[in-house]
Amino acid sequence: MEYRTLGASGLQVPALSFGAGTFGGSGPLFSHWGTSDDAEARRLVDICLEAGVTLFDTADVYSDGASERVLGAALKGRRHQALISTKTGLPMGDGPAEAGTSRPRLIGSVDAALSRLGTDYIDLLQLHAFDAATPVAETLGTLDDLVRAGKLRYIGVSNFAGWQLMKSLDLSERHGWSRYVAHQVYYSLLGRDYEWELMPLGLDQGVGALVWSPLGWGRLTGKLRRGQPLPEGSRLHNTAEFGPPVDDERLYAIVDVLDEIAEETGKTVPQIALNWLLQRPTVASVIIGARNEQQLRQNLGAIGWSLDAGQIARLDAVSAVTPSYPRFPYYRQAGFARLDPPVV
């Protein structure tokens, strides 16, 4: 396994990490991701640790805490071998104290997560969403207190806009508080918006990317083909409305190129899609999910080799989209690009 430094921190993380959203799955969304019980979860964790996949990502909102509980049980007796990344901030109920990142909510959420995970510290806590109702300074001051108390080792965010992340980093710098080192983002061949603003910010400010849904919400598995119905067992029948919008023709064009490269390399479509991400700037770890052992082992085949420059260029070209304003002039006009060239 390859290990990479997470942003401007000293934390080394594996290039592939495991997303535990399939653990204990329940509810209208997570039950379709996967329903791994304690025994199956422990087996998947066994495989991960044997392969050097030491970072496990979860969240309090995943199946109302069940994912954290099952992950904690699977790591019992070997907590020291793993890095736990969890997230908080999204609503866990309808009450005013059950959502957001205020001081009481963060303190309560961290204590509850520690209890479910069966541990006394979290390696990486990320805010699952930006809370516009809570002063940024209140959130950051509380997180710093939790780091100093030893309950958190590193902090990060997920699904933030560029200005939200930059404002937070600036306040941390000015007050000497613990700084965000990670941004968990949606990024895939089907969704490259991350490159326009958040990737340059990450490079400039030392914020590493942890990539969620690297297969485009399950669309880059190799099972979706032009002119064919959605496979009967696809989770997209029930989850498509929760995920990012996708233009079908663009999807099929990308899959066509992935199929060509699969023929050339002997690798599978998802392995190629994951390997493309591993070559991108700022990407510290790509979070892979798996409903079962077969899927996990296939996804692990994304490392240990690299696409060549020509194959990367073909994937770049077929998946390219014009950025929205204010970034599109920097991609379309030489004068703009001369002053601030795109990262990729």
Cα gap 149→147, rounded to integer Å? 5
Measured CA to CA in angstroms, residue 173 lies from 95, 97, 262, 333 at distances of: 33, 29, 46, 35
CA 292 to chain CA centroid, Å, is 19
Antiparallel, parallel or unpaired: β 180-186 and 152-158: parallel
Residue 326: is the preceding peptide bond cis (ω within 30°)? yes
Given the residues 62, 154, 187, 330, the one annotated as active site: 62
- Secondary structure E strands in 133-178: 152-158
List the structure tokens of 308: 């060549």
Cα gap 183→128, rounded to integer Å? 10
- Is 62 a known active-site residue? yes
Question: How many Cβ atoms sit within 10 Å of the Cβ of residue 301?
Answer: 14
- Secondary structure E strands in 217-257: none
DSSP 36: B
- Secondary structure E strands in the chain: 3-5, 12-14, 16-19, 55-57, 83-88, 122-127, 152-158, 180-186, 208-212, 283-288
List the structure tokens of 132: 């516009």
- Catalytic residue list: 62
